[in-house]
Structure 1
Amino acid sequence: MAETHPIPPKAARLPLNFDPAALQEDLAALGSGEWVAHFNTGFFSGDWSGAALRAVAGSANAMVADTHQGEFSDTTLLGRCNHLRGVVESFKCPLRSVRLLRLTAGSNIREHRDYDLGYDAGEVRVHVPVITNPGVEFFLDGKRIIMNEGECWYLDLNRPHRVRNRGESDRIHLVIDCQLNDWLRGMIAEATPDEGSESGFEPFRRLVLSESAMQEELGAITDRGIFLSHAVELGRKHGFDFLEDDVEAALQDARRKWMERWIA
């Protein structure tokens, strides 16, 4: 009988750790021209860019992670980054795209799903934070996951997720797309699950559901932009810290659940 492995949680810290100072040294090998703007321009505001370490045909300018575009191979940039190459070589599984992804201060990646990634699909994405700060907010399924420099994280990015860098410095992650094999399944099985913490919007939402006056106040607003800004203002009056993006994500999630209910 074939060996079976438990289905992993939505987020888990793998039993791998890397020296963030050494990884940050490798960033000096990157010139400003080697950072390429992310192709999904509709998914973000601000500056979201990347540098390819492993890409289709080994092209350092290829940011597409789609396996249908061709075969993946190391880029010349990876050869100049000894410490990052050591991280990549520590993965004893077939690798596809490997990128450094940079989200500058004040930038925002809107909520989305990566439908081509998933444990059941046989391909997963791993994140290794190289540079981060306390102002980075990564939400997966509405829960905030805090990833520290040098850690290694498995994330189920088939689920809704979004990122906002509210700090004053860049957030740079090494992002590795891996094909599942027994080694990686074993690493995920040994990982430390993290259920995350809810955003400031969730307790505010519960307060609104318990207060008819607040429901009427918000329900009377028909303009979406005004609704978003007023919800944030009302939340702050009651001591809750969240952004318009959090409200928008909640509206999208409610709409998605409604559609799934009726489609099913």
Structure 2
Amino acid sequence: MSRPAFSRLPVTVDLPLLLQALAAIGEDDWHGHFNSAYYTGDWSGVALISAADALTELAPGIGEPRLREPWRRDGRWQRGLRDLPLEIVCARLLRLGPGGRIHEHRDYDLGEPDADLRLHIPLLSPPQVDFMLDGQRMPMAAGECWYLDLARPHRVDNRDTQTRIHLVLDCRPGAWLEQAIIDGGATTPSPLMGDQAIEQFKALLASDPQLCKTLQGLRDNEAFVARTLELAAEHGLVFTREELRAAMRDGRRQWTEQWSA
């Protein structure tokens, strides 16, 4: 069976213990991400494990994995992941501050034969964060463990007022991990569709004035509907033209006040 593009692994991490370890990280431990052209706002990290020959602790390398100070001094990181039999070659905390945006890109090295597999474990995961992979919104919640094929196009937008922090693990492929990815793929939540997606999009508009501005001034009804469908799809929300028109009829006053200039 081929590996899915994304999968919520059927595993458990000790989230309270990992959050305790996170709380012990000082502000001086955080450093700006090395791919400075890829983002706006605060995208920073703390290296827990990284290659010995890495140019910076957050950068990739091909040398032997080296345990960095936060991992060495605090055994809670290892204990929080104790039920995951992984060969970890890189472990980082990655923080995206409120209003931060990681522009669409690909991690091409992850697409190479026998490449490491990247897992994301959200530690702080506010609701108004859009992690888009290949045009689909990844509904990652705190304490879950997700495999993501990040050789595919992906981007992140933190529209929330709270910080997002993920524990990101690069692991060597192995039989247990490959099977966990396949098993998890069968139960991974699908993107919101229909009425649920419409309600989510309305909430998105209420929290994002810039997104509202994009729709303001579109007096032509067809252009308005078409642009709405495009914007919703960009945020991983799927509904039909007919479902959108029905929602607009049912709540015309609310939609007019919210979306009109």
TM over 0.5, shorter chain = yes
1:240 match: 228
* Contact 1:106/1:167, CA 8 A, preserved across alignment: yes
2:30 match: 35
What is the DSSP-based 3-state SS (H/G/I as helix, E as strand, rest coil) of the residue aligned with 1:172? strand
1:94 match: 87
1:51 to 46, 49, 63: 46
Work out the number of aligned pairs and report it: 214
- Flag structure 2 segments of 5+ consecutive residues without an equivalent: 198-210, 236-261
**Separation of aligned partners in 2, 1:112 and 1:189:** 25
Per the TM alignment, residue 123 of structure 1 is displaced from its structure 2 partner at its CA by 1.4
**Separation of aligned partners in 1, 2:136 and 2:192:** 5
- Flag structure 1 segments of 5+ consecutive residues without an equivalent: 1-5, 204-227, 248-264
Per the TM alignment, residue 82 of structure 1 is displaced from its structure 2 partner at its CA by 2.9
1:197 is the counterpart of 2:185? no
1:68-116, Cα deviation, whole Å (9 max, x unpaired): xx22121121133333222445442322110000001110001011111
* Contact 1:29/1:80, CA 8 A, preserved across alignment: no
**Separation of aligned partners in 2, 1:198 and 1:115:** 28
TM-score calculated relative to the size of structure 2: 0.71
1:24 match: 19
1:66 to 61, 69, 72: 61
What is the DSSP-based 3-state SS (H/G/I as helix, E as strand, rest coil) of the residue aligned with 1:130? strand
C-alpha RMSD of matched pairs (Å)? 3.4
What is the DSSP-based 3-state SS (H/G/I as helix, E as strand, rest coil) of the residue aligned with 1:125? strand
1:107 match: 100
Quick one: percent identity of the two aligned structures?
A: 38
* Contact 2:17/2:80, CA 8 A, preserved across alignment: no
**Separation of aligned partners in 2, 1:75 and 1:58:** 13
* Contact 2:42/2:100, CA 8 A, preserved across alignment: yes
**Separation of aligned partners in 2, 1:142 and 1:119:** 22
1:32-79, Cα deviation, whole Å (9 max, x unpaired): 1100100101110000000000012398x6101232xx2212112113
Per the TM alignment, residue 231 of structure 1 is displaced from its structure 2 partner at its CA by 5.3
TM-score calculated relative to the size of structure 1: 0.70
1:164 is the counterpart of 2:152? no
1:208 match: none
1:76 match: 69
Tell me the amino acid that sits aligned with residue 197 of structure 1: P
